[in-house]
Amino acid sequence: MMKYDVIVIGGGPSGLMASIAAGENHAKVLLIDKGTKLGRKLAISGGGRCNVTNRLPIDEIVKHIPGNGRFLYSAFSIFNNEDIIRFFENLGIKLKEEDHGRMFPVSNRAQSVVDALLNRLSQLNVEIRTNMIVKDLHFKDGRVESVELINGDKLETNSIVVAVGGKSVPHTGSTGDGFPWAEKAGHTISELFPTEVPVTSDEPFIKEKTLQGLSLRDVAVSVLNPKGKPLITHRMDMLFTHFGISGPAVLRCSQFVVKAMKKWKLKHVTMGIDALPDFNEEELFQQVIKLVKEEPKKAIKNSFKGLLPERYLLFLLETNRMDPNTQGSSISNDLLRSFSKSCKQFQFQVNGTLPLEKAFVTGGGVSVKEIEPKTMESKLVQGLYFCGEVLDVYGYTGGYNITSALVTGRLAGMNAASKHEEPI
Ligand SMILES: Cc1cc2nc3c(=O)[nH]c(=O)nc-3n(C[C@H](O)[C@H](O)[C@H](O)COP(=O)(O)OP(=O)(O)OC[C@H]3O[C@@H](n4cnc5c(N)ncnc54)[C@H](O)[C@@H]3O)c2cc1C
């Protein structure tokens, strides 16, 4: 029977990188994926452009991975974001930096990233089996023994790298298959939940689609605790949709909505939008008074035009029961103060998020407490490695998840390969 040094299960960024690292370390590697193509999620990532990593300093990268980012410090000391950039440049993929340190291929094509990884696999003679579902893993005497395929075949191996991803966007192949295998090996699975996911609301203005399609640029979006204090605030763009809110600031806030609902057993959580975060409330109020005084006979919708996007301005005026056509001079200071306040802190209720299947990223997963942070090997079963989104590591959008997948994949592959010299 054919015996492999390393079997990598899953051809996403973590599994592709693990296979390459194992191949570069002269191991006999088999990469198995259930899909017809490798890197399906990678190919649609970053809006089809693949935000392959991020160039911020390591401490910042860790901060942008709220789900156990600190676990990655050891891994980053061996292979980090700058190594990823060099790795791709050596494969002929030039990267460019965009806002917030986000790195994309100059080609703007995620597929070019996937193709470069596939070329490297072929140079290294990594054997690939697509359209092949792994059904189960077998362990014996505290170490890995074999990988069982859906057709009943069992493939013996020294090391298994589980790189099957989480449970989000299952049509890309990530259907949570790795969690029962990890449990079978004795691992703890931290509860799964959707993260980087649009947030839902049953507020009348959402149901009535009053603001649907409106984007707010560079606003500060907060999730509030039951006492009204912000749990988290993210200053980025956001979007109103037909079911709630979305856009970068909201995606980042989404896991805090999920966690708050769970922690305080809430059906609704309050969120706030500060549409003018560069002013404090008093400064804004003075500005509003100044605008009114400059042209007291002008309709307020025109006086305040430059303050906010028109639809949002009209919405906030209406929320404050202010007729947009009223002349500024006839409006009381109290009402102007209340309007300024809602520009700074428009609060509304949200009632959850879209489901895990629709989330960009899966929160929770194989507990990192039972994984060696320098090798990605299981502390419970020898020769068993985990990498990528199957781990309880989850980052914000912005290249952090692919970074985590590539870095943990690199370590898993390198170390899995080192096992092939050991007798079994
Ligand atoms: C639309 C979208 C856009 C995104 N954009 C970005 C971005 O720009 N930047 C960023 O950092 N992150 C982004 N993410 C998140 C990022 O893509 C994932 O975190 C990353 O792909 C996870 O990599 P992975 O290798 O762990 O798993 P995956 O990419 O999920 O790959 C897992 C692979 O395992 C295979 N598999 C699963 N079960 C089995 C089995 N039983 N047998 C055989 N094979 C199996 C699957 O077919 C799949 O190919 C995005 C996610 C989505 C959904």
pLDDT in tens, 239-298: 999 999 999 999 999 999 999 999 999 999 999 999 999 999 999 999 999 999 999 999
Q: Tell which residue, 295, 318, 322, 297, has the closest CA to residue 306.
A: 295
At 424, is the pLDDT very low, low, confident or very high (cuts 50, 70, 90)? very low
> What local confidence, expressed as pLDDT, does residue 421 receive?
53
Beta strand segments in 101-241, E: 102-105, 127-129, 134-140, 143-149, 154-162, 189-195, 199-200, 215-224, 230-240
Instruction: Return the bridge partners of 103, or none.
Output: 53, 97
> Distance of alpha carbon 347 from its chain centroid, rounded?
25
Distance CA 309, CA 328 (A): 19
Class of the CATH-defined domain 2-193+362-421: alpha beta
Phi and psi angles of residue 70, each rounded to the nearest 5 degrees, phi first: -65, -25
Asked if residue 176 has its Cβ within 6 Å of ligand 1, the reply is no
Distance CA 342, CA 336 (A): 10
204 CB-contact burial (10 Å; exposed 0-12 / middle 13-18 / buried 19+): exposed
Query: Could you give the strand order of the β-sheet that contains 244-246, starting from the edge strand earlier in sequence?
Result: 346-350, 269-274, 215-224, 230-240, 244-246, 199-200, 352-353
Q: Could you tell me which residues come within 8 angstroms of residue 82 by beta carbon, excluding any fewer than 6 positions away?
A: 55
> What local confidence, expressed as pLDDT, does residue 423 receive?
47
* Token pair of 95 as six digits: 């990267």
Handedness of CA 30, 34, 37, 41 (dihedral sign): negative
> What local confidence, expressed as pLDDT, does residue 420 receive?
60
pTM: 0.95
CB atoms within 10 A of CB 329: 12
Asked if residue 365 has its Cβ within 6 Å of ligand 1, the reply is no
At residue 304's C-alpha, the angle toward residues 298 and 310, to 5°, is 115
Distances (CA, A) of 334 to 262, 311, 337: 38, 23, 5
> What local confidence, expressed as pLDDT, does residue 354 receive?
98
Query: How much distance in Å is there from the Cα of 121 to the middle of ligand 1?
Result: 18
Query: How much distance in Å is there from the Cα of 102 to the middle of ligand 1?
Result: 18
* Token pair of 422 as six digits: 């050991």
For ligand 1, mutation pick of 14, 99, 121, 401 (most atoms within 8 Å of CB): 401
At 1, is the pLDDT very low, low, confident or very high (cuts 50, 70, 90)? low
Query: How much distance in Å is there from the Cα of 42 to the middle of ligand 1?
Result: 6
Query: How much distance in Å is there from the Cα of 174 to the middle of ligand 1?
Result: 6
Asked if residue 64 has its Cβ within 6 Å of ligand 1, the reply is no
Asked if residue 9 has its Cβ within 6 Å of ligand 1, the reply is yes
Helices (H), 49-95: 58-63, 73-76, 81-90
Mean pLDDT over residues 18-31, rounded? 98
Asked if residue 168 has its Cβ within 6 Å of ligand 1, the reply is yes
For ligand 1, mutation pick of 9, 20, 41, 192 (most atoms within 8 Å of CB): 41
> What local confidence, expressed as pLDDT, does residue 419 receive?
73
Query: How much distance in Å is there from the Cα of 51 to the middle of ligand 1?
Result: 13
Position in ligand 1 atom list of the atom nearest CA 164:
34
pLDDT digits (tens, 9 = 90+) for 216-238: 999 999 999 999 999 999 999 99
Q: Is 418's pLDDT higher than 80?
A: yes
Asked if residue 360 has its Cβ within 6 Å of ligand 1, the reply is yes
Residue closest by Cα to atom 10 of ligand 1: 399
Query: How much distance in Å is there from the Cα of 163 to the middle of ligand 1?
Result: 9
Query: How much distance in Å is there from the Cα of 136 to the middle of ligand 1?
Result: 20
Query: How much distance in Å is there from the Cα of 13 to the middle of ligand 1?
Result: 7
Query: How much distance in Å is there from the Cα of 260 to the middle of ligand 1?
Result: 27
Distances (CA, A) of 26 to 205, 230, 239: 60, 51, 49
Residue closest by Cα to atom 20 of ligand 1: 402
Position in ligand 1 atom list of the atom nearest CA 401:
11
Domain boundary assignment for the chain: 2-193+362-421, 198-353
Distance CA 303, CA 328 (A): 8
Mean pLDDT over residues 299-308, rounded? 95
For residue 243, give the 3-state DSSP assignment.
coil
* Token pair of 39 as six digits: 């890197």
Phi and psi angles of residue 128, each rounded to the nearest 5 degrees, phi first: -120, 130
Distance CA 144, CA 111 (A): 34
Q: Tell which residue, 58, 74, 87, has the closest CA to residue 408.
A: 74
> What local confidence, expressed as pLDDT, does residue 22 receive?
98
Q: Is 188's pLDDT higher than 60?
A: yes
CB atoms within 10 A of CB 156: 15
Query: How much distance in Å is there from the Cα of 389 to the middle of ligand 1?
Result: 7
**Angle, helices 281-294/333-344, rounded to nearest 10 degrees:** 130
The percentage of residues in the chain with a pLDDT greater than 90, rounded to a whole number, is: 98
Residue closest by Cα to atom 46 of ligand 1: 173
Instruction: Return the bridge partners of 371, or none.
Output: 378
Average pLDDT, the chain: 96
Distance CA 2, CA 11 (A): 21
> What local confidence, expressed as pLDDT, does residue 263 receive?
97
pLDDT digits (tens, 9 = 90+) for 321-361: 999 999 999 999 999 999 999 999 999 999 999 999 999 99
> Which element (helix H / strand E) includes 363?
strand 361-366
